[in-house]
Chains A and B, each alone.
Chain A
């Protein structure tokens, strides 16, 4: 009694898998990068607005964070763009980038907001004592400190984005999981198809995880 493994039926699909991998990487990188930048700006905004607005801003952020990514994907996919914005609905890829980018952004904003408080007041006072202006202090002291604080957590989230990006298959984005679904349905070889997907993700994710672990030990990160 043994299962008859057969991967050869998927040979014709490898160009589709390669395109799927590329799309997975593209969606993940764009939404992680764009979402992080937007999140830093958003977190800084939550900090500079009047104090009485901090709490509402954070609650707004928490509400967005509570919505599952799958729901966000459907939201961006089914949003009546024509009716409200007068534009053609974006492609599923763009919808996926918007949803993943948004979840990255609200997560990052939360981190940044909290990190500002942990920047050493002494260091800031040291900078002030030399006559540096507040903008220069943000640039040379506060931002570098915040980045060191949040980077390890951000990297973990980036890797998470890479793994979550396959949810985009539900709105028809032809990334790796989508290709596997189509291929397995046509070849009646589901198990093998998912093993291929698993291997692809291990190859994508593992080097990142290992690099991240090394990075966490780096001296650069401790200079704060």
Chain B
């Protein structure tokens, strides 16, 4: 099967600091891959490079078998790529001048070209799934951290991207809400065209990675150091660096 997202030899550095040093990653349609690693390992940078919010130094990437990044240069207009590979940020990055509803409908109207009414219907539907339907008239400054995070997920999810990149979305959510969010994402993926949306998520919560993802990849020294099925990641990892990283999650808390 053609991977939904295929990344080869992705390199990136900030000034002299090398962050990504040849990342290879395949994500199948409908698959969820969790990227784990130490802080400042380049996890967020990887997501930004996938969504061309950062232009990598070098590397190729394919979406659905179509090359969109060659030698680090985007082959399409960046907004075209970003409309397919949508990213959700840890800091939400909401639009403070718009209501919650407008935050969701803006891209539906301007990127997906839905009519106002269609966009609103869709927005209400997904907002309800994520439990933010009663704050649609509020402004982002009036939301709790959890609501803001769910809004950030909602406005990305309604676009039905081919690849959804989630950066530390659990930071502002409590355990119960995390389950709701997972549920909503799964539901929306299931009725989207063929259930093909691939998800790449970055998290420091191993429990979340194992619960939600199909596969866990350990990012170390700017490379995917080791990747395993999520269920066996904690027990079956082979390389000493991975085992050392994983060891702290075996603590009884």
Known: A136-B110, A223-B141, A224-B97. A130 touches B82 (CB 8 A): yes
The minimal Cβ–Cβ distance linking B201 to chain A, given in whole angstroms, is 15
Q: Does A123 have its Cβ within 8 Å of any Cβ on chain B?
A: yes
Q: Does A65 have its Cβ within 8 Å of any Cβ on chain B?
A: no
Q: Does B87 have its Cβ within 8 Å of any Cβ on chain A?
A: yes
Whether B159 contacts A131 by the Cβ 8 Å rule is: yes
* Residue interface bits A125-154, CB-to-B below 8 A is 1, else 0: 111111111101000110011001000000
Q: Does A122 have its Cβ within 8 Å of any Cβ on chain B?
A: yes
Task: State A144–B93 Cα separation when bound (angstroms).
Answer: 16
Chain B residues near A148: list those with CB within 8 A.
Answer: 97
Known: A122-B91, A222-B141, A223-B139. A129 touches B82 (CB 8 A): yes
Give the dominant DSSP class at A's interface: helix
Known: A123-B95, A145-B97. A129 touches B86 (CB 8 A): yes
Q: Does B156 have its Cβ within 8 Å of any Cβ on chain A?
A: yes
The minimal Cβ–Cβ distance linking A119 to chain B, given in whole angstroms, is 11
The minimal Cβ–Cβ distance linking A14 to chain B, given in whole angstroms, is 46
Whether B96 contacts A223 by the Cβ 8 Å rule is: yes
Task: State A130–B89 Cα separation when bound (angstroms).
Answer: 11
Report, as a range, how many residues of chain A touch the other chain: 20 to 34
The minimal Cβ–Cβ distance linking A134 to chain B, given in whole angstroms, is 8
Whether B156 contacts A130 by the Cβ 8 Å rule is: yes
Whether B156 contacts A129 by the Cβ 8 Å rule is: yes
Chain A residues near B78: list those with CB within 8 A.
Answer: 128
- Chain B residue nearest to A129 (CB atoms) is B87
* Residue interface bits B94-112, CB-to-A below 8 A is 1, else 0: 1111100000001100110
Whether A131 contacts B97 by the Cβ 8 Å rule is: no
Chain B residues near A130: list those with CB within 8 A.
Answer: 82-83, 86, 106-107, 111, 155-156, 159
The minimal Cβ–Cβ distance linking A195 to chain B, given in whole angstroms, is 45
Whether A140 contacts B96 by the Cβ 8 Å rule is: no
27 CB-based A-B contacts, threshold 8 Å: A123-B94, A126-B89, A126-B92, A127-B95, A127-B106, A128-B53, A128-B82, A129-B51, A129-B53, A129-B88, A129-B93, A130-B86, A130-B156, A131-B80, A131-B111, A132-B106, A132-B107, A132-B110, A133-B79, A133-B110, A140-B95, A140-B98, A140-B106, A141-B97, A144-B97, A223-B97, A223-B139
Residues of A within 8 A of B (CB): 120, 122-123, 125-134, 136, 140-141, 144-145, 148, 219, 222-224
